[in-house]
Amino acid sequence: MGKRPGTTDDGAVVRVERLTRPLRRVAMISVHTSPLDQPGTGDAGGMNVYIVALARQLAAQGIAVDIFTRATSGSLPPVLELAPGVIVRHVVAGPLEGLTKTELPGQLCTFARDVLRTEASYAPGYYDVIHSHYWLSGQVGALARDRWGVPLVHSMHTMAKVKNALLAAGDTPEPTARVIGEEQVVDAADLVIANTAAEATQLTELYAAESRRVRVISPGVDLDVFRPGDKQQSRQRLGLSAEALVAMFVGRIQPLKAPDLVIEAAAELLARRPELRSGLVVPVVGGPSGSGLDSPHGLVDQARRLDVDDVVRFVAPLGQEALVDYYRAADWVCVPSFNESFGLVAIEAQACGTPVVAADVGGLSTAVADDISGLLISGHDPHDFATAFEKLALDEGLRERLGRGGIDHAQGFSWERTARQTLAAYHDASALMTAEPVAMAE
């Protein structure tokens, strides 16, 4: 681990005073995925939802937000207004198309140069805080922090050491370069935001983060969009019968998210209860991502091999309004991921009044209240998930009870609350940076 900024090579420190000022503008950095991308495919997922929702809420509270992201199309304007007070700045760094996430570290210098150039075109002190998302962005944020003299707040979203410890069968481990890069970002950040207490513990134990520099702030859910509605009307719009038994998966199609486990559990459910076949529907909503790109038709082949291709429906990634209909139409949503820093899908489903069957890992242990809003499953044995499916399939009263519990549980997670706590974290980061001795230029 390197020394923290503000120390000399031998560890000595030199003090200099910093002036505090009102927080007016945030520079958000999201190198590898744009807030404009459709969640559920490619590298777009919960982090995209997080950035957009947080930025909108910060703007609603009077804080301007500039989001720096890499341009991936020549049709994108250099600057675009996402919402009042929220600007997306497209940075040209590397080829516009065909660059994978693993190739992006080679473009960080170019990306950082454009971020610094943008700030330099304004009067000094244009940005008051930097909020980076994912380790690639943290590398850029660390450089901007030292150049601008403003605090760096970082959100990991996922961590290589955690992912590698909970790797799905056949998945590719995260490279050593990412592990080192994450360690450097945690070391450089003035404050790191963890989605859950479990993630905060992982940061301190696996990345040696100082506990005083970690804040637990749960993501939220748009309770105006994701809310209970008429189940039968949603089913009519989706072409589902009123009597159907609907078990749904939503997420990127990659081993980490374990959509194959949902198909296996459905196959075992039908082996146990063949009478359910005529009514069972298993929508798999999402697109290939990550190592899932290596076998984009793998799930189709699996469904055919397990003789459940008549009940499994593959659905392309959906916008929020269409996704709400699927949540409302479902009898339960399955989130069997090998790891989740939080699990926005679980909260969205519960907010719509739909129970969740989830793996008891990472943030899902917080996002789902076991036997209150859903069922948490230890491990990733399809037999155990099939047992949960069977329990819900045969007990309409249980589904209704968990659905009501999910609505209540989701009320504790709102983006307004997340933004309010994040603003407090920005001020904490500024105080920590101000109190920290830094080297004085000669």
CA separation for the pair 140, 13 (Å, rounded): 24
Return the DSSP state at 375: E
Q: Per DSSP, what are the bridge partners of residue 314?
A: 284
Q: Are 374 and 350 in contact (CB under 8 A)?
A: yes
Query: Are the C-beta atoms of 310 and 280 separated by less than 8 Å?
Result: no
Distance of CA 96 to the CA centre of its chain: 24
Picking from 4, 401, 321, the residue whose alpha carbon sits closest to that of residue 188 is: 4
Question: What pLDDT does 167 receive?
Answer: 79
Contact of 247 with 266, CB cutoff 8 Å:
yes
The series of mean pLDDT values per 10 residues for the chain, 442 residues long, is: 43 40 92 75 73 96 96 87 96 80 87 95 94 97 96 95 84 91 97 95 97 96 95 96 97 90 98 97 84 63 96 92 95 95 93 98 94 97 98 98 98 95 96 68 42
Q: What is the pLDDT of residue 41?
A: 56
Instruction: Round to whole Å and give the CA distance between 440 and 185.
Output: 22
Residue 440 pLDDT: 42
Q: Are 418 and 221 in contact (CB under 8 A)?
A: no
The pLDDT assigned to 45 comes to 65
What pLDDT score was predicted for residue 291?
A: 46
What burial class does residue 269 get, using C-beta atoms within 10 Å of its C-beta: 0-12 exposed, 13-18 middle, 19+ buried? buried
For residue 13, what pLDDT is reported?
A: 35
User: What's residue 38's pLDDT?
Assistant: 63
Closest by CA to 26, choosing from 336, 415, 426, 442, is 426
